[in-house]
């Protein structure tokens, strides 16, 4: 009996040792790869990072919708990518152009809509999705501002949209069952803020606002990186940009405290207002624009020079011309914890602007503001943020005046409220960076309302206008 | 006799005109008090959260009362078999005020089964508005009127 027990113990020990050895040898390399991925995440900035949706609308029914600014929790965009790639590469697919009315109607059924920050070039989107040979959809819809996925009964489909133009696309064997399941889980959990269509106020039906908000946004403090740099760090920064040892670099100190570093045709200016400016004159004339090459050049440049890449997204692309050369001006903004930040410094155009001429970066301007990752203050006022319509209502007089000014109307028309509401183009939750302090600058949660092409931001706690641009 | 007839006709005409004028004045006043959502007086949904909104002159108090029925009665109420007044139980009652833009709104919670929503305006001569909302379990009935890609119009 004793011998049998010993044998059993021996077999158990051998089995345990085999299991542990397997874990050691088969799981450790996987962990190493995970580590390598994280490194890549922190140190490189690729096209796919630039072109990601700015907000996500989830439609559960005609009545219930929600908007997410951060997809980290559910990963809906990531789960949609494989089907989206299929839709944009499939050789056999069906297309139907649908009316704006029909498109809006399809928001009343289970579906998801991905909104992009700016009209996204469809070809660039396909490159960001690593599609080598896109199908005709890209030609039929060269720019997109949103992508819709139908998740209701019957065969699923995408709707690619730009303003009022909508193209529905379906390919055989389209399977988005995992996305449907995810939406069901979110719906059943009911742990989301209910958003309602502004159609009930006579405004654009594809604008959604919450009426009751049970949360306050996290307090976020930012600091300007340049001010906190010591001389050695500044030296490293200069050498990184100009690609030469500091001993070879000419230095000019201006009266206002700004310093210019010069090497050959390259300049780097560390401004006293915290702005970093880089300039490298064009060496050859560029006669033909290539957006994909320009974006890739910008991504490589940002990966090797920018300190902060997390949360950065491409907000605007403009075609430019300089001394007979043609290129692009790219503007980037930041999101902090998924919420976009509005820059309040009028001396600075955007957080990051890059002038790129195919493979050449002509200029780069960067206003570095870093999340200080402060621990939440437990003694803060736990007041909730105001619903967006309350903010509009509090500022009814302002909007009426704005409407009269915008449309050059002499007398206040009787139906001015209808006119005001119909002129609202978008409502988004955002943070406003007043740019008044070098350290400990508290970002203000705002409702950013786009009214006839201009953005007005109102403090989300008290409804006071804090920003217009 | 003819004079009498003319006088009588004028009197009747005057009374008719006054009546019409009053009706018109009331109608234009009543138009200022509107419930926009819901837009139908009785309907069925699967959602337990609903938006009540409408128009009323700035500063008007609007009371939104929500009533439900419990399943304990086992009377299987639906839109064709509505509960009697006694079968309803009060779920919530809240007064909101119409804002500067002339809108009022409230997000209400409903329960499964028949719900009655009564919207009352604190204004003379404006009738209460009643809505019946039948909330059903989405797993019981599949009522997707949209359909997939094939249902899209060309």
Q: What is the pLDDT of residues B73-83, one digit of tens each?
A: 566 777 777 77
Q: What is the mean pLDDT of chain A?
A: 85
User: How far is it, in rounded angstroms, from Cα A326 to Cα A291?
Assistant: 11
- A102 to chain B: which residues are within 8 Å by CB? 152-153
A379 belongs to a structural domain: no
A331 belongs to a structural domain: yes
Buried b (16+ CB within 10 A) or exposed e, B39-70: eeeeeebbbebbbbbbbbeeebebebbbbbbe
Using a CB–CB cutoff of 8 Å, tell me whether A392 touches chain B: yes
Specify the number of domains making up chain A.
4
Report residue A382's pLDDT band, with 50, 70 and 90 as the boundaries: low
Report residue A264's pLDDT band, with 50, 70 and 90 as the boundaries: confident
How many CA atoms lie less than 13 Å away from B151 in the CB half-sphere? 15
User: How far is it, in rounded angstroms, from Cα A393 to Cα A399?
Assistant: 9
User: How far is it, in rounded angstroms, from Cα A23 to Cα A196?
Assistant: 50
3-state secondary structure (DSSP) of residue A262: strand
Residue found under tokens 């999101």: A335
Residues A82, A168: one domain?
Answer: yes
pLDDT tens per residue, range A330-363:
999 888 888 889 988 877 888 899 999 999 999 9
Report residue A276's pLDDT band, with 50, 70 and 90 as the boundaries: very high
In angstroms, how far apart are the furthest CA atoms of chain A? 106
Residues A111, A153: one domain?
Answer: yes
User: How far is it, in rounded angstroms, from Cα B89 to Cα A369?
Assistant: 56
Residues A244, A151: one domain?
Answer: no
Output the CA torsion A39→A297→A56→A119 (10° steps). Answer: 180
Residues A73, A181: one domain?
Answer: yes
Are A212 and B107 within 8 A, CB to CB?
Answer: yes
User: How far is it, in rounded angstroms, from Cα A261 to Cα A354?
Assistant: 19
Residues A349, A398: one domain?
Answer: no
pLDDT score for A225 = 79
Residues A393, A458: one domain?
Answer: yes
A341 belongs to a structural domain: yes
Q: From residue A13, how far is each of A17, A24, A36, A47, B2 by CA, in Å?
A: 6, 16, 34, 51, 125
Task: Report whether pLDDT(A170) > 60.
Answer: yes
Using a CB–CB cutoff of 8 Å, tell me whether A200 touches chain B: yes
Respond yes or no on whether the N-terminal peptide bond of residue B38 is cis (omega within 30° of 0): yes
A257 belongs to a structural domain: yes
Residues A160, A283: one domain?
Answer: no
A206 belongs to a structural domain: no
- Of A343, A371, A399, the last residue of a domain is A371
Residues A444, A317: one domain?
Answer: no
pTM summary value: 0.79
Mind giving me the DSSP string for A312-374?
EEEEEEEEEEETTEEEEEEEEEEEETTEEEEE--TT-S-SEEEEEETTEEEEEEE--EEE--P
Using a CB–CB cutoff of 8 Å, tell me whether A98 touches chain B: yes
Are A98 and B153 within 8 A, CB to CB?
Answer: yes
In what helix (H) or strand (E) does residue A117 lie, and over which residues does it extend?
strand A111-121
- B147 to chain A: which residues are within 8 Å by CB? 152-154
User: How far is it, in rounded angstroms, from Cα A386 to Cα A383?
Assistant: 9
The domain containing residue A464 runs over which residues? 388-468
Q: How far is C-alpha A98 from the chain's CA centre?
A: 28
- A106 to chain B: which residues are within 8 Å by CB? 146
CATH number at residue A328: 3.30.310.160
Report residue A24's pLDDT band, with 50, 70 and 90 as the boundaries: very low
Report residue A35's pLDDT band, with 50, 70 and 90 as the boundaries: very low
Buried b (16+ CB within 10 A) or exposed e, A253-291: eeeeeeebbebeebbbbbbebbbbbbbbebeeebeebbb
**Bridge partners of A342?**
A432
**Bridge partners of A91?**
none
Residues A395, A343: one domain?
Answer: no
Residues A64, A79: one domain?
Answer: yes
A200 belongs to a structural domain: no
Residues A453, A424: one domain?
Answer: yes
Residues A53, A10: one domain?
Answer: no
Instruction: Report the CATH superfamily, name and number, of domain B32-139.
Output: Immunoglobulins (2.60.40.10)
- Residue in A426, A345, A465, A466 with CA at minimum distance from that of residue A118: A426
Q: What are phi and psi of B8, to 5 degrees?
A: -60, -45
């Amino acid at each position: 009996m004793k011998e049998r027990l010993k044998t059993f113990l021996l077999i158990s020990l051998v089995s345990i040792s085999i299991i542990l050895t397997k874990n050691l040898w088969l799981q450790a390399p996987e962990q190493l790869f995970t580590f390598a991925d994280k490194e890549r995440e922190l140190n490189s900035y690729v096209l796919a990072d630039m072109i990601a949706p700015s907000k996500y609308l989830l439609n559960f029914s005609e009545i219930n919708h929600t908007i997410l600014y951060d997809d980290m929790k559910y990963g809906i965009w990531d789960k949609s990518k494989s089907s989206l790639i299929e839709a944009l590469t499939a050789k056999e697919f069906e297309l139907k152009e649908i009316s704006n009315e029909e498109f809006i109607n399809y928001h009343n059924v289970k579906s998801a809509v991905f909104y992009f920050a700016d009209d996204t070039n469809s070809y660039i989107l396909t490159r960001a999705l690593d599609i080598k040979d896109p199908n005709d959809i890209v030609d039929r819809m060269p720019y997109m501002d949103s992508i819709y996925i139908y998740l209701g009964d019957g065969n699923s489909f995408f709707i690619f949209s730009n303003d009022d133009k909508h193209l529905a696309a379906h390919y055989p064997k389209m399977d988005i069952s995992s996305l449907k399941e995810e939406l069901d889980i979110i719906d059943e959990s009911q742990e989301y803020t209910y958003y309602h269509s502004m159609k009930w106020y006579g405004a654009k039906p594809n604008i959604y606002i919450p009426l009751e908000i049970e949360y306050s946004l996290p307090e976020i403090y930012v600091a300007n990186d340049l001010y906190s740099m010591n001389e050695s760090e500044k030296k490293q920064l200069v050498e990184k940009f100009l690609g030469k040892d500091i001993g070879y670099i000419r230095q000019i100190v201006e009266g206002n405290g700004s310093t210019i570093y010069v090497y050959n045709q390259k300049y780097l200016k560390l401004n006293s207002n915290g702005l970093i400016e880089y300039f490298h004159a064009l060496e050859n004339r560029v006669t033909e624009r290539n957006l994909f090459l320009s974006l890739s050049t910008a991504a490589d440049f940002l990966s090797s020079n920018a300190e902060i890449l997390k949360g950065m997204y491409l907000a605007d692309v403009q075609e430019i011309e300089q001394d007979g050369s043609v290129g692009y001006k790219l503007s980037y903004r930041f999101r902090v914890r998924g919420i976009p930040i509005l820059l309040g410094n009028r001396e600075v155009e955007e957080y990051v602007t890059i002038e790129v001429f195919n493979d050449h970066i002509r200029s780069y301007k960067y206003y570095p503001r870093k999340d200080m990752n402060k621990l939440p203050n437990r003694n803060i006022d736990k007041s909730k943020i105001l619903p967006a319509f309350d903010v509009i209502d509090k500022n009814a007089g302002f909007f009426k005046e704005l409407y009269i000014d915008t449309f050059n109307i002499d007398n206040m028309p009787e139906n001015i409220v209808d006119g005001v509401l119909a002129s609202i183009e978008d409502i988004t939750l955002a943070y406003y960076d007043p740019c008044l302090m070098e350290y400990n600058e508290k970002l203000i949660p705002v409702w950013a309302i786009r009214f006839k092409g201009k953005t007005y931001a109102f403090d989300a706690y008290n409804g006071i206008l804090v920003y217009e641009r | 006799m003819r004079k009498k007839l003319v006088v009588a006709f004028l009197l009747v005409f005057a009374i008719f005109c006054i009546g019409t004028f009053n009706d018109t004045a009331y109608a234009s006043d009543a138009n200022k008090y509107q419930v926009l959502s819901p837009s139908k007086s009785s309907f069925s949904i699967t959602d337990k959260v609903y938006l009540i909104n409408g128009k009323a002159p700035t500063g008007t108090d609007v009371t939104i009362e929500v009533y439900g029925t419990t399943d304990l009665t086992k009377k299987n109420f639906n839109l064709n078999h509505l509960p009697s007044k006694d079968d309803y139980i009060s779920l919530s009652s809240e007064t909101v005020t119409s804002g500067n833009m002339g809108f009022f709104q409230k997000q209400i919670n409903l329960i499964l089964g028949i719900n009655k929503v009564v919207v009352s305006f604190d204004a003379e001569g404006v009738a209460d508005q009643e809505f019946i909302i039948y909330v059903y379990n989405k797993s019981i009935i599949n009522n997707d009127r949209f359909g997939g890609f094939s249902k899209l119009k060309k």
